[in-house]
Amino acid sequence: MNEQHKRSMISVQGIAKHYGDFKALERVDLEIEKGEFVVLLGASGCGKSTLLNLVTGFDKPTAGRIVVNGREVNKVDPHCGMVFQQYALFPWLTVIDNVAFGLKMKGIAKAERLQVARRFIEMVGLKGFEDKYPNALSGGMRQRVSIARVLANDPDVILLDEPFAALDAMTRQVLQDELLQIYEKSKKTIIFITHSIDEALLLSTRMLIMSARPGRVVTDIRNDLPMPRNAQVQLSPRYNELKGQIWDTVQSEVMRSLQATSH
């Protein structure tokens, strides 16, 4: 009974998104609770990004509705902060002005917004880089700025669309750790897109595996691995069991889509 009454942070109800004859998403239903770290996993073309674009309001669904924290999404809404794979930082603004951008849009006074921005810059480990322009930063640092920019805006939900895909393996690992720490500190609801099974296992509290043609959620797995997800966890039998289970699903999906394209 209690479960029924708990209001979801994100409620995706009967969503479909068609582009002409192409069914990017079909009959997607999802309830995501406050504080979950959900990873959307799937091969390219399964509608992961389409779903995220619907949650942010960048796109309108063909059918169904999405409710975020009690409000129905019908326009671009700053309550769902987005971290893009290509960082999307404003190159003409310094790090601190990028991070303070959302607060400026809300009309918050300069002194106050810079103070808030400074706090989040420190949180992502970029203290001392406040006055640098994005051009002067490495990819990993840019993505940190982008995360700080979303955090400073204090959204209900943080959406990350393959945020670490363009980074080298070492930097990716560091940023994954940092994101987990931020998650634990901020207790934000997070949706994270990836096609790396390891990344999904490392970060999530829950994994949704998506399948293409039509795009839909095929498997919903709770990730019960203990935190912190250090090297030891990654060597545990449970980790490998989960990985094997996901791989079986993903593999059959990939095979299916390969056959579909060869016809």
Partner 1 sequence: MISKAPSRMALAATSAASVLFFIALWEAVCRAGLVDPIFLPPPSAALGKAAAMLGDGTFWPHILASARRVMIGFLAATAVAIPLGIFLGTSSFARAVFDPILSFLRPLPSMSWIPLSLLWFGITETQKYSIVFMGCFAPAMVYVIEATRNVDPLLVRAAQNLGANRWQVMKEVILPGSLSQILSGFKVILGLAWTCVIAAELVAAREGLGFLIMNGKEFFQTEVVVLGMVLISTTVLITDFVFRHIENWVLRWKQ
Residue 60's Cβ-count burial label (10 Å; 0-12, 13-18, 19+) is exposed
How would you class 8 by CB atoms within 10 Å of its CB: exposed for 0-12, middle for 13-18, buried for 19 or more?
middle
Angle between helices 169-186 and 139-152 (to 10 degrees): 10
Compare residues 5 and 75 and give the one whose CB is closer to partner 1.
75
Question: Interface with partner 1 includes 84 (CB under 8 A)?
Answer: yes
Applying CB under 8 A, among 7, 44, 72, 76 the residue interacting with partner 1 is 76
163 binds partner 1 (CB under 8 A): no
Token reading at 87: 């960082």
Token pair 């990985």: residue: 243
Q: Give the dihedral of Cα atoms 148, 149, 152, 158; nearest 10 deg.
A: -80
The whole-angstrom separation of Cα 175 and Cα 164 is 8
Indicate the residue among 97 and 253 with the shorter CB distance to partner 1. Answer: 97
Interaction with partner 1 in 133-152: which residues (CB under 8 A)?
133, 135, 149-150
Give yes or no for residue 93 binding partner 1 (CB under 8 A): yes
Q: Least distance to partner 1 from the beta carbon of 76, Å?
A: 4
User: Is the CB of residue 79 less than 8 Å from the CB of residue 57?
Assistant: no
Q: Site size for partner 1, by CB under 8 A? A: 26
Question: What's the CA gap between 252 and 241, in Å, rounded?
Answer: 17
Query: Nearest approach, Cβ of 222 to partner 1 (angstroms)?
Result: 29
Point out which span in 28-36, 98-106, 119-127, 173-181 binds partner 1 (CB under 8 A).
98-106
Give yes or no for a contact between 160 and 87, defined as CB atoms under 8 angstroms apart: no
Q: Which CB sits closer to partner 1, 67 or 108?
A: 108
Report whether 47 contacts 150 (CB < 8 A): no
46-75 residues near partner 1, rule: CB under 8 A: 56, 58
According to CB under 8 A, which one of 106, 127, 222, 238 is a site residue for partner 1? Answer: 106
Whose structure tokens read 């992502």? 124
User: Is 22 an interacting residue with respect to partner 1 (CB under 8 A)?
Assistant: no
- Interaction site with partner 1 (CB under 8 A): 56, 58, 76, 78, 80-82, 84, 86, 88-94, 101-102, 104-106, 133, 135, 149-150, 153
